[in-house]
A and B are shown apart, each in its own frame.
Chain A
Amino acid sequence: MDTILTSLTTNMFIAAAVLVVSYIAIFSEIIHRTSAAIIGAVSIVVLGMFFGFYSQEAALKSIDANTLLLLAGMMMVVAMLRPTGIFQYIAIRLAKVSNKNPRMLLFYISLTVTLISMVLDNVTTVIIFAPITVLITRMLKLNPVPYLMAEAILSNIGGASTLVGDPPNIMIGSAAGINFSSFLFHMAPPVLLVWLCTIALLFLLFHRQLSEPIGGTIDLDEKRAIKDEKNLKKGLGALLVIVLLFFIHHRFHLYPAFVTFIGLSLALMLIQPKPEELFGEVNWSVLFFFAGLFVIVGGVEASGLLHLIGKELAHMASEPQMLLKAALLLMWVSALLSAVVDNIPFTVAMIPIIHGLDDNGINISPLWWALAIGVGLGGNGTHIGATANIIVVAESEKSGIEGARITPLQWLRIGLPAMFASLVVTSIAFVLFFEFFQ
């Protein structure tokens, strides 16, 4: 620690100050997080130019275009699929197939949300599934809480398994040069274990609610949910092309973002959506937030601070046994932090630090997986840990159903055990199969 302090330069102090102030503004929500990120980005570029450690060119280069374009492309694909009604159709079909069995209903909905979240943004998935879930459970005279919480928790878990399932994964994959297949190959086994463990835990923790007798019928016509069958087929075709290309993109040296745009172009040609509707569905605020963070962290990196931290941390992971401990520590710290603060700024800041360890000759592969697992699963711990959680909590409040409001304490009672169980399972997997993650 003394070495770090004595090695700090004025540039590093300035860059660190901008980062800290920006992150405080983001986490405390004094101003909107996107505004905080943009102000922080402009500040660090101005100060960097003045003190000579950062430039406009370097700031532009620090923006990970692959991450932003991949996100934007997928947002547009989802924007074309969403109005077709396919998600509502699936939810109603599953509810009917569950044959009025609360446990089967929870299992089917959770499995579907997980699978969709592996490919599409899990926030969008939950936004669509949550309202129809409340309606279905009301019709069956069931408490919607177990189903809503399961949707959020398991969609977060599903998203953690693929390169495109969660924004931090896109960033990690892009920074580490991990392709879709490799990401799935390494993350799917631990995530599958976590999924099974979590669903069993949810059955146990919601035992009373899932034993309630069903008192009604689902009088919903799923056929009417499909509003545009032709566009649905075209949209699903484009999505299929994207998913297939994800598995082979590295063989053709295609960026994941470019793969998304190939599918998007196909969908644009076939569906020909109205531009104002399509671009209106893109979450520009999120994209600018990410861009701002990249510029801020790029400035800190340019000041040399992250390299210095990497150098100092290098001794912690210099030996194989130490590397395992470092990976586990990173996983747990990432998870605990992600449970209480936004995991994106944390991920963006950690990426160059891990890269710094690589410069010091450390095998950083396990650290990428540890970071992905930590930030992916940690969000389940609290009701504010992930956007999907906030959405289902809001939906439960809006429903106005007595006893259906998900309180922060109620979330902790379910989410925290789920998060710790997930981390224990993945930690054991890490210890037993450490070579697999190297």
Chain B
Amino acid sequence: MDIAVKTGVAKSGMDIGEFFEKCVRYNVPGIPFCDDEGRVLGRISIRHTFKSTCIPQYVVDAAHLLGDDLQNVAINADISEKVLSLPVDDFVLEDMAIITAASPIMKALAIMERYNTGYIFLIDNGVYEGIVTRMGVAELLLKYR
């Protein structure tokens, strides 16, 4: 599957700041969490990290009611600094959407839909090969235009 983007991976001890840097560099919403032997143990997602650290559920519940003056609940410099220094280990998600290099695009899209995610890991023989995103699939389809 030539649309997979080979990204770096997160490892134990890495902080959220380093994780964000990797995601931003490869323009992906999440990366795998691997052990020292390279085995994929789970994933870290930007969305889940924000949800766990910056956006409490009570704000999400009332999102449609919020005005623009959120001085006491907004993310400020102190919170940002604190979040960026947190270890990624606390934010590892065990559920992952996975395909292999032989999998058709349809399967990748179906699994993304099933897992309610916009990305999927390409893993062959237990080795992480890259990430496939919906954007990547759209880009591929555009080549047939």
Contacts and interface: CB of A to CB of B under 8 A. Distances in A.
B58 A140 contact: no
Given A132-B58, A399-B56, A139 B72 contact: yes
Interface in B63-119: 64-73
B65 A134 contact: no
Given A88-B62, A132-B62, A139-B73, A398 B68 contact: no
B57 A92 contact: no
A342 B59 CA distance: 32
Nearest to B68: A219
Nearest to B69: A219
Contacts of B69: 217, 219
Given A220-B65, A221-B65, A224-B64, A139 B70 contact: yes
A132 B67 contact: no
B66 A220 contact: yes
B72 A140 contact: yes
Main secondary structure of the interface of B (DSSP, over half): loop
A403 interface: no
Contacts of A132: 58, 61-62
A121 interface: no
Contacts of B61: 131-132, 135
A358 interface: no
Contacts of A140: 72
Contact of A216 (B57, B64, B71): B71
Contacts of A215: 72
Contact of A135 (B68, B71, B73): B73
Interface string A209-233: 0000001110111101100000000
Contacts of A400: 56
B72 A222 contact: no
A256 to B, nearest CB: 32
Contacts of A413: none
Nearest to B52: A400
A207 B73 CA distance: 24
Contacts of B68: 219
Given A140-B72, A215-B72, A216-B72, A135 B58 contact: yes
Contact of A141 (B57, B64, B66, B72): B72
Nearest to A91: B62
A301 interface: no
B65 A224 contact: yes
A395 interface: yes
Contacts of B67: 219-221
A131 B70 contact: no
Contacts of A100: none
A138 interface: yes
A131 B55 CA distance: 13
Given A139-B73, A140-B72, A215-B72, A92 B65 contact: yes
A92 B64 CA distance: 13
Nearest to A133: B58
A222 B62 CA distance: 10
A212 B34 CA distance: 48
Most buried by A among B59, B67, B71, B72: B72
A71 to B, nearest CB: 25
A356 to B, nearest CB: 48
A215 B71 CA distance: 10
A409 B83 CA distance: 30
Contacts of B62: 88, 131-132, 135, 220
B57 A131 contact: yes
A92 B65 CA distance: 10
A222 B65 contact: yes
Nearest to A399: B56
B66 to A, nearest CB: 6
B55 to A, nearest CB: 10
A221 B73 CA distance: 16
A141 B71 CA distance: 9
Nearest to A141: B72
Given A217-B69, A398-B56, A400-B56, 13 more contacts: A88-B62, A131-B58, A131-B62, A132-B62, A135-B62, A219-B66, A220-B66, A221-B65, A221-B67, A225-B64, A225-B65, A395-B58, A398-B57
Interface of B: 56-59, 61-62, 64-73
21 contacts: A92-B65, A132-B61, A132-B62, A134-B56, A135-B58, A135-B59, A138-B58, A138-B73, A139-B73, A140-B72, A215-B72, A216-B71, A216-B72, A219-B67, A219-B68, A219-B70, A220-B62, A220-B66, A222-B65, A398-B58, A399-B56
Give me the 9 closest cross-chain CB pairs, A-B, nearest first: A219-B67, A131-B58, A219-B69, A134-B58, A220-B65, A216-B72, A135-B58, A131-B61, A138-B73
